[in-house]
Amino acid sequence: MKLRELASKLGREFHGDGEVDILLPAPIEAAGPGTIIFVANEKYAPMLETTSAACVIVLEQLAARAKCPVLISPNPYFDFSRVLEIFFPPLKPAPGIDPTARIAPDATVGENASIGALTVIGGGVRIGKNAAIHPHAVIYPGVTIGDDFVCHSHVSIREGASIGNRVTLLSGAVIGADGFGFGEHEGGLFKIPQVGTVVIEDDVEIGSNSTIDRATIGATILHRGVKLDDQVHIGHNCEIGEYSRFAALVGNAGSVKIGKWCQFGGNSG
């Protein structure tokens, strides 16, 4: 792809030879002929003077230091992620329903959906348009899901969960598992019924083998833009604020309330 074409796709200004070929995005330490890299931090600026990359995405104030063509960006990291999507488009299965899928007669699946092999969709489920549901997913009765849903293999979504638009669930995630509720009685333990639900708002991503427990009563809520890494646990009746992020192996006990834009490092609890 020519630099001129790439700049047009991104809607960004470029300086230098617009006919240079961009073959592949690369990390800065692996830059070579035909690659495009990014520099978003002043401490890496000296590398602009020696890189053999075909092009660098840079802040405007660093552009003059580059010895190769540049794309000017207010956020080079963001625009580099857009370049990655251009060169490596996300997997999008063709629309259609695999003949081995089982969909309840009263379930509704929106237009342009892809339903993979051995998927099970229960009664009363409502799924919006452009869904991509990969093989072996199980969606229990009464679930509602918005548009542009992506569900990878072996995901389980329990009864009554509510999921917004542009939500992505990675392989093995469990939405709406029973909360951990037990009490003591006459020398033993009794299970407290977990009769609540899970609400996941728009633009949430949930990593592989992560679990969101249903509420005992009421709802466990993940607000807009929350991002969970793999093997994260959100306990019953938690409420997670907008755009908060959790690295792998984070655990939250029941009824934890977390605000907006919080970040949790791996293995914290």
Per-residue pLDDT tens digits for 209-246: 999 999 999 999 999 999 999 999 999 999 999 999 99
| Of the options 3.40.718.10, 3.90.1150.10, 1.10.760.10, 3.40.1390.10, the CATH number for the domain spanning 3-87 | 3.40.1390.10
Per-residue pLDDT band at 74 (split at 50, 70, 90):
very high
Amino acid 193: pLDDT: 98
pLDDT score recorded for residue 99: 98
Residue extent(s) of CATH 2.160.10.10 domains in the chain = 96-264
Determine the average pLDDT of the residues in 189-213.
98
Identify the pLDDT of residue 154.
98
Residue intervals of the chain classified under CATH 3.40.1390.10 are 3-87
Which of the residue ranges 88-92, 148-152, 264-268 would you say has the lowest mean pLDDT? 88-92
Q: Residue 46: its pLDDT value, please?
A: 92
pLDDT score of 214: 98
Q: What percent of the chain has pLDDT over 90?
A: 96
pLDDT tier at 125, thresholds 50, 70, 90: very high
pLDDT tens track for 13-62: 999 999 999 999 999 989 999 999 999 988 989 999 999 999 999 999 99
Question: Which CB contacts under 8 angstroms, 24+ apart, belong to 199-203?
Answer: 199/161, 199/162, 200/161, 200/162, 200/163, 200/164, 200/167, 200/175, 201/164, 201/225, 201/226, 202/146, 202/164, 202/165, 202/166, 202/167, 203/164, 203/165, 203/166, 203/167
Q: What is the C-alpha to C-alpha distance for residues 216 and 213, in angstroms, rounded to an integer?
A: 9
Strands 197-200 and 35-39: what pairing?
A: unpaired
Average pLDDT score over the chain: 97
* Architecture, CATH, for domain 96-264: 3 Solenoid (2.160)
Q: What is the pLDDT of residue 95?
A: 97
Give catalytic residue positions.
236
